[in-house]
Amino acid sequence: MKIGIVCPYSWDVPGGVQFHIRDLAEHLIRLGHEVSVLAPADDETPLPPYVVSAGRAVPVPYNGSVARLNFGFLSAARVRRWLHDGVFDVIHIHEPASPSLGLLSCWAAQGPIVATFHTSNPRSRAMIAAYPILQPALEKISARIAVSEYARRTLVEHLGGDAVVIPNGVDVDFFAKADPKPEWGGQTLGFIGRIDEPRKGLPVLMAAFPRIVAECPDVRLLVAGRGDEEEAVASLPAELRSRVEFLGMVSDEDKARLLRSVDVYVAPNTGGESFGIILVEALSAGAAVLASDLDAFAQVLDQGAAGELFANEDADSLAAAAVALLRDPARRAELSARGSAHVRRFDWSTVGADILAVYETVTAGAAAVAADERVPLRTRLGFSREG
């Protein structure tokens, strides 16, 4: 099958959606499909052979933060050319509602279109205003995929219609087979994520940390991720700061080894998560997981059966749960065993098969994707015979 995938965010900036698309593309290529990914990228960035650059993304303030987006004539022309050259059986657009390549491709294409909605933003004023603009583009999508039941609910609430739920995929064995590092083990808590992004929840963990140390004197905290380290520990008493070890940005291999080594992986995120791929990675590595009780997290953790949940933004609740886990190796082993079994459904072998099933459903009997040719004005007004 010839598959075109549209990535809305810059290929050179690491992010969940980009990784998902990379893994999906490589999985499909391994299965023998022809895949082309259209993504914003700097012209100098080395790209894998299956990625086509749609030009540089421009930073613009959008939806409360600065987003790097592609729009304008040039991007639209590149999208058209890609569609025209590709002759795809199906195109798979990620984040079709964001004002970037996703929306442009929706406008420009006709034929079997599959779309994945990753984020679940609360209904915004801009979305309501944009509805009449979005609707004609979004109604071209033949099949919608939401990454979690929570994302599906918000999607249905905002745009109506329905979607199938297919979770994000993870290469479970990559994490399950990583070598633990001895110096990262032994009464350790792990945290991975942007240090200076409050929604990732490091401040909640820092608030709980003194209470955890009071109960478990040997505990250490390993933090991997970008951000200002001084600022992150500023709220901690000076004598505890040495117990927090910053690893900076880590490679995929080190991330897997870290998750394999720690006793408890803590995900204190306070909101804005629609899936929680990091939890799936931690479960794959066999770590005991302690996460805030966001809807999306509770679903990944099978409502608490595959990992412990604590009350969101509640440092006391986090501390109590972390201490209980650190003191109880039997409970950790139980969670790890249950997590490893539960996480198989997120493996690429399963997720990839489901996504392919969607492609096959929408392409059955349909023509290939083509550029949506604009009808000339003459025809529209009824002055031409072909109209």
Which of the ranges 139-147, 202-210, 242-250, 264-272 carries the binding residues for another protein, by CB under 8 A? Answer: 139-147
Identify which of residues 153 and 331 has a Cβ nearer to another protein in the complex.
153
149 binds another protein (CB under 8 A): yes
Footprint (CB under 8 A) of another protein, residues 159-198 = 160-165, 167
Local structure of 375: helix, strand or coil: coil
Q: Give me the DSSP letters along 133-186.
A: HHHHHHTT-SEEEESSHHHHHHHHHHH-S--EE-PPPB-HHHHHTPPPPGGG-S
Report the nearest approach of another protein to the CB of residue 271 (Å): 22
358 binds another protein (CB under 8 A): yes
Local structure of 188: helix, strand or coil: strand
Report the nearest approach of another protein to the CB of residue 365 (Å): 5
Total binding residues toward another protein, as defined by CB under 8 A: 33
3-state helix, strand, coil in the chain (%, to 5): 45, 20, 35
Footprint (CB under 8 A) of another protein, residues 265-304 = 299, 302
Selected binder of another protein within 61, 239, 377, 386 (CB under 8 A): 377
Q: How many CB atoms lie within 10 A of CB 362?
A: 18
Report the nearest approach of another protein to the CB of residue 371 (Å): 14
Report the nearest approach of another protein to the CB of residue 92 (Å): 14
Under a CB-based contact definition with an 8 Å cutoff, are residues 338 and 306 in contact? yes
157 binds another protein (CB under 8 A): no
Note the helical H segments in 31-143: 73-86, 101-108, 125-138
* CA distances, 345 to each of 140, 166, 169, 279, 313 (Å): 30, 10, 9, 13, 29
Report the nearest approach of another protein to the CB of residue 336 (Å): 19
Total number of residues shown for the chain: 387
Note the residues at the interface with another protein (CB under 8 A).
110, 112, 136, 139-140, 142-144, 149, 160-165, 167, 299, 302, 345, 350, 354, 357-358, 360-362, 364-366, 375, 377, 380-381
